[in-house]
Structure 1
Amino acid sequence: MYWRRCGTSGAQPSLHHLVHAARNAPHYAFSHWTPPSPTPSLIFRMGGPAATANPDVRSYGHLLDPKPWYKNSRLILLNFWIVILLVTSSTNGYDGSMMNGLQSLPQWQQAFNHPTGGALGLLGAIQNIGSLSALPFAPYIADGLGRRSCIILGACLMIIGTVVQTASQNVHMFIGARWLIGFGLNFAATGAPMLISEVAYPSQRGQLTSLYNSLWIFGSFIAAWTTFGTFHIQTSWSWRIPSAIQGFPSVIQLALIWFVPESPRWLMYKGREAQALKILAYYHARGNEKDPLVEYEYQEIKAAIELDREVAHTVGWLTLFKTRGNLKRVRIIVAIAFFSQWSGNGLASYYLNKVLDAVGVTDPTIQLLINGVLQIYNFVICVFASLWCDKIGRRKLFITATAGMLATWVAETICFAVYSKTGIAAAGHAFIAMIFIFSTFYALAYSPLIVTYAVEILPYNLRSKGFTIFNFTICLSLIFNQYVNPIALQNIGWKYYTVYIAWLSFELAFICRYLVETKNRTLEETAALFDGDDQVALISNKASDRFTEKTTEIRVDADEKSSI
C-alpha cells in the first residue's frame, strides 16, 4: 500500500486519508508520496468539509477508537472525572427545588414569618443575585488561572455558604448565605461546562456537555425527595437538613478536582503544549502521542489558538459585537438563555406550591410528592435527550420542544381558567397532567442543550466571555421571574398564563428562523457555521503546514525502516 498522486488528474490525498493510512500501515504509508508545498489552493481541511459539506459525517470519525468506550480504561477514567464536573449543575438544580420544597414545610414558614409576594421573591432570587455579582470576575479566573481553579474557588465559597445557611438564625442570615452560594456557584458553573467540552473524547462531547445541564434535574429531584423525607421532623432540622445537603456536591468536587485533567486548550493557550499533548494522548489514545486522532486534535487546536493569538490584542468584550458571526452567536446565546427561564417553567420550578394551591391541591404532603415525582420524570427525559442529541440534532430537539411547550401551555391556561371560574376538580387534575406534559417538552431541549449549544458555538478566545453573557442573561431572567411570578399569580391568577402564550409563540418563530444545527462537529469546526469558510481556511492552512512537516518525518522514518 503506498500513495501516489491518487485519484484522478493529480488530486492530492486528503489529510484524513493520510492519517488513516498512517494508522493502518505506519511503516510504509508515506514512503512513495512526497508532501506538496502548501499553497492557498491546497488546504488540508481540518475544520472545513465536515462543517460545510455533509453535516451528518464526522470529519474525525475514522480516527476514533472502534472499541466501545466502556472497554477503554482511559475513557472510563476520563468520564469518571467528567462526572465530578457534572456535579456542579446538581448544586444549582438542588437549590431551586429545595426552595420549592421549603415553602411547603410549615417549620420553614414559621421560622421565616410566612414570606409572601416580594419577600418570597427575594428569598428565591437572592441566589441568582449572588451569581450576577460574580459575573465580572468569573471569566478572568477561568482564562487566567484555568478552568479547574475556577471550579475550586466556586466549591470553597459554596461550602461556606451552605454552612451559614444551615446555621441560620434569622431571615437575614439565610438570605446572606444564599447570596454567597450563588456567588460561588457562578465560578464553578463558568469553569465546569467549558472544561467538560474541552477535555471530552470527541465523539462524546455533545452528550457529556448536554448531561451537564441535565444534572440540574438530578439535583432538583434529590432536593424534592429530601424535603419530602424531612417533612415529618417537627424541629427546625426539617429545613436545616436539606440546607446542609446542598453543600455535599461541592465537598465531593473539592476532594477530587485535583485529579481532573486541565483543559488542553487552556494549556496550549498558556504555552504548555507538551502538557496539553500528554493529556490528549493519555485519555484519548491510551498514552500514544503519535496516534492520528491525537495529532488531528492537537494540530487543529494549535492552529486555532495561534490564530487567536495573532488577534489577541484586539479581542475584548466588544469583540462579541463587532463581526456578523459574533453577532449571530450573541443573538442566539441571549435568546436561548431567556427562553430557558421565560417559557413558563419558572412557575413549576420555584413556585409549584403556589400553582397547586391555585388549583385546589393544598395538602403539603401531596405537593411535595408531586414535586418529587415531577423531578424524577424530568431527569429521565433529560438524560434521553442528552444521549441522543448528536443523532436527533439540536435544531430538531429545540423546535419540537418549543412547539410542544406552546401547545401544552395553551391547554394549561384553559384548564386553569376553567377551574378558577367553576371550581371543577377535573379541570385542576387536568392542569396537573399538563404540567407533566409541558415538562416533557421542556426537558427535551431547554434542560440538556442550552449549555452545550452556548459553549460549542463560541470560539476559544471568546468562550469564557460569551459564556459569561449567557450566565448573565440567565441570572437576569431568573431574578425577574422570581420577583414577578409570585406577585403576578397573587394578583391576576390564571390570566398571567396568557402572557406566556404570546411569548412562547415568539420563541418558536425565533428558533425556526435563527437556530442552526451543530451536531457531530468538533469545537473548531463549528466556527464555519458562523464565521464562514475564510476563517476555517486560515486555521486549516496553519494546520496543513504543520501536518505536512509531520508526514515528511513519517516518510523519512519509513524509508529508514525499509532500508534496514
Structure 2
Amino acid sequence: MVRGNIRGSAARGGIAACCGLAFLLFGYDQGVLGAVIGLDSFRKEFDDPNRNLEGIIAAIYDIGCFVGAIVAFLTADYFGRKGSITLGTWIMVVGTILQTASFEKIQMIISRIITGIGNGMNTAMLVIQSALIAFGHPLSTFMGLASRQAEPSSFGWRWPIAFQGVFIAAILMFLPFLPESPRWLVHKGRIEEATDVFARLAGKNSTINDPDVVRERDDIVASVEEEKKLGEATWSEVFTEGKNRNISRVLLGAGPYMMNQWSGINCLAYFLPITFERNIHLSVELSLILAGVLGIQYFALSWL
C-alpha cells in the first residue's frame, strides 16, 4: 500500500533519494570504523584490540553484506523490492543499536555482521548513483573528527556509529510513500496496481489509459510471461558455458569488480586515518582531516 498520492518528478525523486540514502549509508558504515578505531576511548573499551582483530571487525561487515545480498536474492520475489528494503532496513536498526551499545569485542563483531546483512539486502536491490558510497566515507571520517572532542568519554566513538541511524530513519520514512516495483506486481498478477505505478511515475496528468503507460505495462507483462514460459534457471546453468556462454558472461560482469576489491583498495577505504597515524606518524586529528579531504576528492571525481 502506498501512502499519499505523489506523482511524476516527486515520485521519481523520492525513489532516487531513498536509493541514494541506502548507498550513502553503505559507504558511511564502511568508513566509520576507521574513523573511531584509533580513538583512545574505543581502544580502552575493547582492551586495545590487536591488528588481526581490527581486521576481523572491519571485514566481518562485508561478510554480512554478502549474506544479505544472497538473502535478498532468495526472498525478493516473495516480499517484493519494497518489502525487502523495509526488512533490510529494520535489520540495520538492530545492528546499529547493538554496535552503539557494544561493550565486548564479540558483541561488536556480531553487530557488524547484522548491520552488514541489512545493508547487503538494501544495496542488492538498488542501482543508483554509487558515487554516494564514496561520500559516506568522508562523512564518517569528519564525524569521527568532530566527536573526538568528547574524548575520553565513550561518546567519542559511540556517536559516529549511532549517527547512521539518521539515514536509517530517513529511509523508513520514505518507504511508505514509494510504490512497489511494477515488475514484481506484474509477476504476482497485480496488473492494475502495476499500471497505476507507471501512471504515477509518468507524471501528474497521466492516467492508466495513457498510451505510454499502457505500452510500458504491456512490455513488462510480455517480458514476465516469456520468463514464465522459459521456467526457472538453475545454478548449474549459471556456471556452465553452453551455447549461451553463461559462465563467460558471469566472469565478464563480475570479474572487474572482483579485481577492483582484490587490489587492496579497501585497506584505504576502511583504515586510511589510522594508516596515516601509524605508518606516517601524523597526529590523529591531521590523519582524520586528510582522510576526509581525500574522501571528498574521491566523491567529486567519481561523478566524472
- 2:74 equivalent to 1:74: no
Q: Is the 8 A contact 1:158 1:184 kept in 2?
A: yes
- Given the superposition, is the C-alpha separation of residues 186 and 359 from structure 1 closer, same or farther in structure 2, using an over 3 Å criterion? closer
> Aligned runs of 1:510-525 on 2, under 5 Å?
none
Supply the distance in 2 between the matched residues of 1:292 and 1:336 (Cα, whole angstroms).
Answer: 40
Q: Is the 8 A contact 2:131 2:299 kept in 1?
A: yes
Shift of 1:364: 0.5
**Cα contact 2:96–2:115 (8 A) shared by 1:** yes
> Could you tell me which residue of structure 2 aligns to residue 103 of structure 1?
37
Correspondent of 1:283 among 201, 212, 230:
201
Q: How many percent of aligned residue pairs carry the same amino acid?
A: 26
Q: 2:150 aligns with which of 213, 228, 233?
A: 233
Partner SS, residue 288 of structure 1: coil
Q: How much does 1:113 deviate?
A: 2.4
Q: Indicate the SS of the match to 2:126.
A: helix
Q: SS of the residue aligned with 1:146? A: helix
CA distance in 1: counterparts of 2:217 and 2:239, whole angstroms: 29
| 1:319 is aligned to 2:237 | yes
Which of 117, 124, 138 is equivalent to 1:190?
124
Q: Does 1:294 align with 2:213?
A: yes
The equivalent of 2:227 in structure 1 is 308
What does the per-residue CA deviation read over 1:416-435, in whole Å, with 9 as the maximum and x for residues that have no partner?
xxxxxxxxxxxxxxxxxxxx
Write the distance in 2 (CA, Å) between the matches of 1:224 and 1:355: 13
Q: Does 1:363 align with 2:297?
A: no
Could you tell me which residue of structure 2 aligns to residue 516 of structure 1? none
**Pairing 1:375–2:282 present:** no
Q: Alpha-carbon deviations, 1:287-315, whole Å to 9, x = none?
A: 23343432332232222211101012x42
* Cα pair 1:150 1:190 within 8 Å, conserved: no
Structure 2 CA distance, aligned partners of 1:325 and 1:298?
A: 31
Specify the SS of the correspondent of 1:192. Answer: coil
Separation in structure 2 between the aligned mates of residue 367 and residue 244 of structure 1, nearest angstrom: 22
Asked whether the equivalents of residues 130 and 180 of structure 1 are also in contact (C-alpha less than 8 Å), the reply is: yes
Report the alpha carbon displacement of residue 359 of structure 1 after superposing the two structures with TM: 5.1
The SS at the match of 1:275 is: helix
Deviation at 1:179, TM superposition (A): 1.4
Kept in 2: contact 1:162–1:244 (CA 8 A)? yes
Letter in 1 for 2:236: L
* Aligned 1:170-189 pairs, distance under 5 A: 170-189=104-123
Q: Provide the C-alpha distance between the structure 2 equivalents of 1:342 and 1:268, rounded to a whole number of angstroms.
A: 39
Gaps of 5+ in 2: 1-5
Which one has a bigger Cα radius of gyration? 1
Q: Does the 8 A contact of 1:104 with 1:367 survive in 2? A: no
**Does structure 2 conserve the Cα–Cα contact (< 8 Å) formed by 1:98 and 1:220?**
yes
Structure 1 residue 219 corresponds to structure 2 residue 136? yes
Q: What is the match of residue 89 of structure 2?
A: 155
- What's the counterpart of residue 253 of structure 1? 171
CA distance in 1, matches of 2:93, 2:213: 38
- C-alpha distance in 2, partners of 1:156/1:359? 39
Aligned residue-pair number = 295
Shift of 1:186: 1.7
Q: Is the Cα–Cα contact under 8 Å of residues 34 and 274 in structure 2 kept in the other structure?
A: no
Contact 1:126/1:178, CA 8 A, preserved across alignment: yes
Q: For the aligned residues, what is the CA RMSD?
A: 2.1
Deviation of 1:136 (Å): 4.1
Q: Partners of 2:211 and 2:245 in 1: how far apart?
A: 31
Alpha-carbon distance in 2 for matches of 1:239, 1:80: 32
In 2, distance between residues paired with 1:249 and 1:114?
30
Corresponding residue for residue 348 of structure 1: 268
Task: Give the distance between the partners of 1:81 and 1:376, measured in 2 at CA.
Answer: 25
1:407 is matched with none
Q: Please give the TM-score of this superposition, normalised by the length of structure 2.
A: 0.89
Show the counterpart of 1:266. 184
1:228 partner letter: L
Please tell me the residue identity of whatever aligns with 2:96: T
CA contact (8 A) 1:165 1:174 kept: yes
The correspondence for 1:134, drawn from 61, 65, 68, is 68
The answer on whether the counterparts of 2:91 and 2:117 sit within 8 Å (CA) in structure 1 is yes
Letter in 2 for 1:252: A
Instruction: Answer whether contact 1:289 1:295 (CA < 8 A) is retained.
Output: yes
Using the TM superposition, give the Cα deviation of residue 264 of structure 1 relative to its aligned residue in structure 2, in angstroms.
Answer: 0.9
Cα contact 2:8–2:201 (8 A) shared by 1: yes
Does the CA-based 8 Å contact 2:14-2:178 persist in structure 1? no
- Greater shift, 112-121 or 360-369, is seen at 112-121
Assess if the C-alpha contact under 8 Å between 1:103 and 1:353 holds in 2. no
CA distance in 2 between counterparts of 1:165 and 1:359 reads: 28
Partners of 2:67 and 2:178 lie apart in 1 by 27
Structure 1: runs of 5 or more not aligned: 1-71, 194-208, 386-564
Partner residue of 1:90?
24
Matching residue of 1:331? 251
Within 2, Cα distance between the matches of 1:224 and 1:173? 23
Provide the C-alpha distance between the structure 2 equivalents of 1:218 and 1:356, rounded to a whole number of angstroms. 20
